[in-house]
Amino acid sequence: MKARKKIIAVSLGWLVLISGMVFALADASGIKGTSGLAGDLIQMGSVEKTRNSFVNGLDSKQRCTIIYASDGKTALAGNNEDSNNPFPIVWFQPAKDGKFGYMCFGFQSGWPRVEGLQWEGAVNEKGLFYDFATTDEVKVPRDPNKPDSWGLSGKMIMECSTVDEAIKLFSEYNFKDGVWKGHYLIGDRFGNSAIIEPLAVIRRDRKYQIATNFLQSKTDPETSTDSRYRLASKLFEQSDTISVDLFRRILDDTHMEEYNGSFTATLYSYIHDLAKGDVYIYNFHNYDNVVKLSIHDELKKGRHTYLISSLFPYETHAARQFKNTRVAYMLYEKAVQNGVSGEDGAIAFYRDVNSQEDTLTKYSLGEEHLNAVGYALLRQNKVNEAIELFTFMVEEFPQSANAWDSRGEAYMKAGSKELAIENYKKSLELNPDNGNAKKMLEQLQK
């Protein structure tokens, strides 16, 4: 049965329905609504062109705002993490084998399967911090006299305690495959910071330093049109002091709520007090609620991980909406890009998600998700795929009148009149008050 829809965003040639979704179940008067996903899935003409940056990491369309400032007494660092992965985590690794202990923000790679940890930013017990923001791609010539490294950020946070040490480390290695797609803002508790770019190092020349998504060696920050950079810079210039409150205001004023085709928003923000070892964490751009942790106290607990949302007493409605819509969209992506069945198709993804046990990022997909994706496929005239998905839904929920009703509509759209009648009859048998099934049968049996 179809869902009611409210159109609230148009982006990149797709129509994204992300608000007011109600999944339909039949009653005597026609359609009965029950709460389901945060937003309707879509009429998407170009989903095949969309990369799954949830799995592959941030791409150049996504944004982050990284800030650092010091007044000689206080050294603070902060970041807005703008992404489309609805399950950000923070983990703690105590010192081991001569390496420094650290805390790291990031994601679980390959979700829902556990394939590793995706680092985004970190701070170590010595007060050295870094975070990373994407930029245009830059190819760096390989120096045959230097070894290659595929993990310089991790090596830096485990072995360096100052900005100078980190810069020296980066100068001694070839970076990955010679292709950079971003830059690092690093800072230490002594009041030093720098931006490490592919072909340049830019040291702080004022009380603050900001990194967004342009290379400052190529574009003068003073003439940049980047609105987040300009706003953050203005707020720093207007303030006489460096404080957590100032950082919170800057992160609040530069956060993202841009629910577009990539479902990107500020998922978490943090502020490090590098001298004290304290970190202030904010979930899903809610700057009224904060969790304060001590890296030193956390490292004493041994290696452990938190789902960031679990640190807070409750999750906001907007955060839940975003998570539900994003996961449903991933299911749709799987159906379009890899097919409904098959090793990496929509059904396999559905089963992978629901088979998670005792994991931080456990999530359950249900009938409403399958129903929404099935109708999204129908709207794209992918009728056979919709029938395949609705068939799986019927198998998973054989006592659901809604599941049979939905497959009946897909068969009707395919021109399979007898199968449509059969499914509508079954839906009516399960729910004699299904007004939609009665109406469709009247039309089909004329």
- At 317-365, the pLDDT tens digits run 989 888 888 888 899 999 999 999 988 999 999 999 999 876 778 888 9
Q: What is the pLDDT of residue 25?
A: 27
Domain CATH for 110: 3.60.60.10
**Rounded Cα gap, residues 366 and 352, in angstroms:** 13
Residues 31 and 125 in one domain: no
Query: How many Cβ atoms are within 10 Å of 211's Cβ, its own excluded?
Result: 30
Q: What is the pLDDT of residue 268?
A: 97
* Cα atoms found within 13 Å of the Cα of residue 396, Cβ hemisphere only: 20
Residues 79 and 213 in one domain: yes
Which of 289, 313, 337 is the last residue in one of the domains?
A: 313
What is the strand order of the sheet 4-6 is part of? 4-6, 19-27, 30-35
Q: Does residue 48 lie in a domain region?
A: no
Q: Does residue 46 lie in a domain region?
A: no
For residue 98, is it left (φ>0), alpha (ψ between -120 and 50) or beta? left
Q: What is the pLDDT of residue 109?
A: 79
Residues 184 and 229 in one domain: yes
pTM: 0.82
Q: Does residue 202 lie in a domain region?
A: yes
Residues 63 and 165 in one domain: yes
Q: What is the pLDDT of residue 298?
A: 98
- Identify the segments of the chain with pLDDT beneath 70: 1-62, 114, 176, 258-262, 358
β-pairing, 304-307 vs 89-93, is antiparallel
Q: Does residue 59 lie in a domain region?
A: yes
Q: What is the pLDDT of residue 261?
A: 55
Structural domain count of the chain: 2
Q: What is the pLDDT of residue 302?
A: 98
Residues 31 and 171 in one domain: no
Residues 288 and 368 in one domain: no
Q: What is the pLDDT of residue 47?
A: 35
Residues 340 and 282 in one domain: no
Q: Does residue 47 lie in a domain region?
A: no
Domain CATH for 36: 1.25.40.10
Q: What is the pLDDT of residue 360?
A: 76
Q: What is the pLDDT of residue 62?
A: 53
**Rounded Cα gap, residues 312 and 158, in angstroms:** 29
* Residue span of the structural domain in which 409 resides: 4-40+319-444
Residues 157 and 299 in one domain: yes
